[in-house]
A = this chain, B = another copy of it.
Amino acid sequence: MPDRATLASVAARAGVSRQTVSNVLNSPHVVNESTRDRVAAAIAELGYRPLRAAQRLRSQRSRTLALALTPRSASADGVNGSIGDRFLHALTETAQRRGYRIMLFAAAGDAAEIGQYHDLLSTGDVDGFVLANTHHGDARTRWLTEHGTPFVTFGRPWGAPTDPHAWVDVDGASGTEAAVDHLVARGHRRIAFLGWPSGSGVGDDRRTGWRRAVQRHALVPAASVDAWSAAIPDNGRLASRAARELAADGASAVVCASDSLAIGALAAARETTDGLAVVGFDDTPTAAALGLTSIAQPLEAAASCAVDLVLGALEPAEAAAPAPSSEQVLLAPRLMVRGSTTTPITTH
């Protein structure tokens, strides 16, 4: 590395004034492209780097939000894993429009994630956090709240509904309710639910909406419907078996807690003589590819809302967009109707 580069040496190399170099660094949009290119080239050649670091010393702001990626192996559900990634894409784009970057780190479990908070905060690398995958007894939100760190969660504080922190989530129950309404409108009267073992906030929420709609339409008694709620892991083979049993038990349609479960149910549907309508959840690429009716989460809106909420906490005065009127935002999902519920069925 040559001698330490300075603003002056960069300006000399680029053949511009020091003010122009400063403009490139602080207000790049006032400098024309070719000059910006020349200054950037000089900066790269000379290894001039401490600029944002110096700015940070003044502003104490990194303009960076951090998000943990959980190991893929920890997620049993590759199909639905695409949801987290779509949220990440939307988050990166929204944050960038507001002048923020997304920093990723890897953490398997609450304790590991909190360990990373230490490092990221103590080094001033990030201004705030976006958390996904909230769950019962979430130790991360408690830690961040206690330490006064700005953060927002994508997901409700399951089991701790009075937690005052900022969150945005999608109303899964209203999605499964809409699915039942759609099936009833198409003549179905025995509508089952294929879900996860109870205890997961997301899964229980989705089951709740199905139950609510089944009762509202005065369909089969809730008791017998409850027996149909298969508590199985997201496993295509088990989902197929459960769907086959539900069909044998008289169900003409099944609402599933995920597209993964729905794929298993679709395999069972192909074998039934009377047909079985299937609705998935999350509108994954797989659902689109298979013609599976599914419930879509408004992930772009959720990401935008998450950025608004965390920036509202970070910089209330200079926030570019008005902060949401509430710090707790529940968004409505949307039913994407496809062939798996619109091909003619035999009414029971």
Contact = CB atoms under 8 A, between A and B. Distances in A.
Interface residues of A, number: 68
Interface in A27-49: 28, 36-37, 39-41, 43-45, 47, 49
Contacts of A285: 77-79, 81-82, 286
Contact of A89 (B71, B89, B149): B71
Contacts of A101: 103-105, 125
A72 interface: yes
A51 B284 CA distance: 42
A211 to B, nearest CB: 27
A69 B89 contact: yes
A103 B102 contact: yes
Given A40-B147, A52-B125, A79-B286, A47 B28 contact: no
Interface string A113-133: 000011101111100000000
B82 A50 contact: no
A106 interface: yes
A278 to B, nearest CB: 13
A28 B116 CA distance: 11
Interface in A82-112: 82, 85-86, 88-89, 92-93, 96, 101-106
A236 B289 CA distance: 7
A304 interface: no
B124 A49 contact: yes
A86 B285 CA distance: 15
A51 B123 CA distance: 5
Given A82-B285, A286-B285, A71 B44 contact: no
A69 B54 contact: no
Contact of A50 (B41, B56, B147): B56
How many copies are assembled?
2
Interface in A234-266: 236, 260, 263
A81 B79 contact: no
A330 interface: no
A100 to B, nearest CB: 10
Contacts of A102: 103-104
Nearest to A50: B57
B93 A106 contact: yes
A144 B62 CA distance: 25
Interface string A46-80: 01011111111100111010000101100001110
22 contacts: A1-B60, A24-B122, A25-B123, A28-B119, A39-B122, A44-B148, A45-B147, A47-B60, A49-B124, A50-B57, A52-B123, A52-B125, A53-B53, A54-B57, A55-B123, A71-B93, A78-B289, A81-B85, A93-B106, A96-B106, A104-B104, A236-B289
Given A53-B124, A81-B85, 4 more contacts: A50-B57, A78-B288, A79-B286, A92-B104
